[in-house]
Amino acid sequence: MSYTIAEKILLAHSSEKSVSPGQFIEVGVDLALGNDITAPLAISEFKKAGFEKVFDRNKVVLVPDHFAPAKDLRSANQCKLLAEFAREQKITNYFEIGCMGIEHVLLPEKGLVGPGDLVIGADSHTCTYGALGCYSTGVGSTDLARAFADGRCWLKVPATVQFLYRGKLQKWVGGKDLILFTIGQIGVDGALYKAMEFGGPVIEKLSMDDRFTMSNMAIEAGGRAGIIVPDQITLEYVRIAQSPKRLTQCLKSKMKDLRSDADARYEKTYEWDVSGLEPQVACPHLPSNIKPVSELRTIKLDQVVIGSCTNGRISDLRVAAKILKGKKVKPGMRLIVIPATQKIYLQAVKEGLAQVFVEAGGVFETPSCGPCLGGHMGILTEGETALATTNRNFIGRMGSPKSFVYLSNPAVAAASAIMGRITHPKEIKEG
């Protein structure tokens, strides 16, 4: 039979002889991930069921990143539960303050996920790792508890929708704009319980950071996974992040099979020429409410946030700093910059990016999800408007249900912080 890359990975991790969309299969997972919001419930269910040991202490990952450093007593207790379970189970991959980061940036950076893997996480943006050519998807905390116990999980095989992008991207347009454009075209339920496979000449030239951004937001279109066929760009990333042994395994046993067959079954194929695409902005209160940045020049802002598992990588900070260098943010504007991991934080300091942000009048925070989910370090009050490089702008997502959140790429965010309104980066003379 012919299969898509998603179907191939699911089949390889099951005992089935064949798979098809809609079929429920039991799979073995390569990694099971939990954070400070979702893992405590999984740990509780794990213990309630009478289990004493996790299936593999090297394949369970715990990352307190949503409300850490703890913002209040409740979040401190959540983090404590993770720490105690990690010590009790001798979990290898537990990342606390000082070595932590936002989970979906940290795991690829640490080389814990790679091509051909099957990864589950009790967080909807676990789909991020599909950029590496693996099948990664979000699950509930009880599913995670079961995986903690025996490394297995029941999944429904999704149909695959193919997205092909052609043309040449304009300056200041990247992965965030491509995925926002895509969601705007198909809607927040346009790929409901589907595997989204991104391809075409534009994707083939896209950097890994931009690919992560696209896969990260597959869930915003309802997708179960956002997959990009691994290529030489993927291999170079894997070579840096992972051990030589792991790279050799990818090259010899996995990479040759990690491509959808020529006659694979796609539920639907979308194809766009994105040569004329300008930076895209998601308007309140849905990621699908998309408009080009040039149509939003009158929208005034109170706050700009650059960070998150969507756009908190070093390339994102470099783009923002390039625009902000030698400039000042608009008086009254709050600019909050949050690098996604400690490694990125240190690199930003080393390159002088942190200094650029602070001298511009912004703040440079410790790695955390922060205000993305209304957690801390930048909550909006009633009537305030923010532009963020995050992934969701639902009502109340960043604080008050009477606040407003727009989503953009880092270049648009930086330019807007300077002008105090939503701004195309071309309006700002680079520093």
Structure tokens at 342: 């400690």
Are residues 203 and 183 both part of a single domain? yes
Using one digit for the tens of pLDDT, what is the confidence trace for 196-226? 999 999 999 999 999 999 999 999 999 999 9
Question: Which residues does residue 34 pair with via DSSP β-bridges, in sequence order?
Answer: 62
Q: What pTM was estimated for this model as a whole?
A: 0.94
Integer Cα distance of 275 and 279 in angstroms: 12
Are residues 259 and 286 both part of a single domain? no
Boundary of a domain, candidates 256, 272, 288? 272
Place of tokens 């676990």: 126
Q: Is 272 helix (H, G, I), strand (E, B) or coil?
A: strand
Tally the residues of the chain. 431
Q: What is the pLDDT along the chain (431 residues), one digit of tens a residue?
A: 899 999 999 999 999 999 999 999 999 999 999 999 999 999 999 999 999 999 999 999 999 989 888 889 998 999 999 999 999 999 999 998 888 899 999 999 999 999 999 999 999 999 999 999 999 999 999 999 999 999 999 999 999 999 999 999 999 999 999 999 999 999 999 999 999 999 999 999 999 999 999 999 999 999 999 999 999 999 889 888 765 655 656 555 555 678 998 999 999 999 999 999 999 999 999 999 999 999 999 999 999 999 999 999 999 999 999 999 999 999 999 999 999 999 999 999 999 999 999 999 999 999 998 888 888 889 999 999 999 999 999 999 999 999 999 999 999 999 999 999 999 999 987 66
Are residues 223 and 328 both part of a single domain? no
Our count of domains for the chain comes to 2
Are residues 216 and 325 both part of a single domain? no
Are residues 266 and 322 both part of a single domain? no
Q: What is the CATH number of the domain that holds 155?
A: 3.30.499.10
Which of 336, 326, 340, 325 is CA-nearest to residue 302? 336
Produce one character per residue of 53-76: b if its CB has 16 or more CB atoms within 10 Å, e if not: ebbbeebbbbbbbbbbbbbeeebe
Report how far apart, in Å, the C-alpha atoms of 323 and of each of 119, 172, 356, 371 are. Answer: 36, 11, 10, 23
Boundary of a domain, candidates 272, 296, 315? 272
Are residues 236 and 299 both part of a single domain? no
Are residues 412 and 383 both part of a single domain? yes
Are residues 43 and 158 both part of a single domain? yes
DSSP H or E segment with residue 304: strand 303-306
Boundary of a domain, candidates 223, 256, 272? 272
Integer Cα distance of 147 and 32 in angstroms: 7
Which of 281, 282, 299 is CA-nearest to residue 412? 281
Are residues 246 and 103 both part of a single domain? yes
Which of 187, 186, 234, 242 is CA-nearest to residue 210? 234
Which of 179, 142, 187, 185 is CA-nearest to residue 44? 142
188 and 217 Cβ atoms separated by less than 8 Å:
no
Q: Could you list the residue range(s) of the whole structural domain that residue 197 is in? A: 5-272
